[in-house]
Amino acid sequence: MNLIALQSKTTEDFARNLLNLIFHIKNTSKNSLIVAHELVITGYSYDDFEAALEISNQAIQQLIELSTNKIISLTLLTKQGSSFYNTLHIFYNNELIHTQSKHKLFLLSDEGKYFSSGNEDDIKLIEVDGLKIGILICFELRFTELWGKLRGADVILIPSMWGKPRKEHLETLSKALAIANQCYVVVSNSSNEDMANGSGIIDPFGNETRDDAKEVVSTKFDAEQIKKIRRYINMGIK
């Protein structure tokens, strides 16, 4: 399996952002796990939530169709009643198989004024074709108590819109998570001018594959690396 972190810009043109996302998904090989950054199609768009919601809903069917033999993960704007959520979606083999809304909102960017918080109980391992996957959405990475909820993961996905001043934090925390949970971590972060880049894949030994100059960062998933580190340094993770 290929692990792929997309690292793209989000413009004010929602349709253009969606087309760019579709282009990258189509150009990945079969048997890939693709992670796009947080709200990749719309950004936060606090002043245009209804338009952002409309294109997010339109994108779902297209992403379902693109997910043949691919796992696609990204967050989209959703609405329940009068409340808006930043909701992760996972698509696989032409189905939407998992959703979870961001629980820990980043108050410095006013998320709490516009978004409602998701349920912490949704932060848990899911299984996709035998692969144990966990998800932490951006700011949630800082809460190490959430790392324990994902013990036993093969891969942890981190879609982010992480700011440039805190770039070192993103890279250090994601590497530490891979080492602590002895698994792969795939970070997808925005490459907008005020964002940190830092997208990449960290293996269970802490080896990093990152390149701020690329829109697509990839490496191979090797289950033997997980087995090897968990035998070599036995922390009771199964």
Q: How confident is the model at residue 30 (pLDDT cuts 50, 70, 90)?
A: very high
Query: Distance between CA 103 and CA 124 in Å, rounded?
Result: 12
pLDDT digits (tens, 9 = 90+) for 162-176: 999 999 999 999 999
Query: Distance between CA 81 and CA 163 in Å, rounded?
Result: 30
Mean pLDDT of all residues in 7-24:
97
Mean pLDDT of all residues in 63-69:
97
Sequential DSSP letters for 54-114: HHHHHHHHHHHHHTTTEEEEEEEEEEETTEEEEEEEEEETTEEEEEEE--S--GGGTHHHH
CATH superfamily membership of 2-232: Carbon-nitrogen hydrolase (3.60.110.10)
Tokens 């709200």, residue? Answer: 39
Sign of CA dihedral 33, 37, 40, 44: positive
pLDDT digits (tens, 9 = 90+) for 71-107: 999 999 999 999 999 999 999 999 999 999 999 999 8
**HSE-CB of 153 using CA atoms within 13 angstroms:** 28
pLDDT at 229: 97
Query: Distance between CA 53 and CA 143 in Å, rounded?
Result: 28
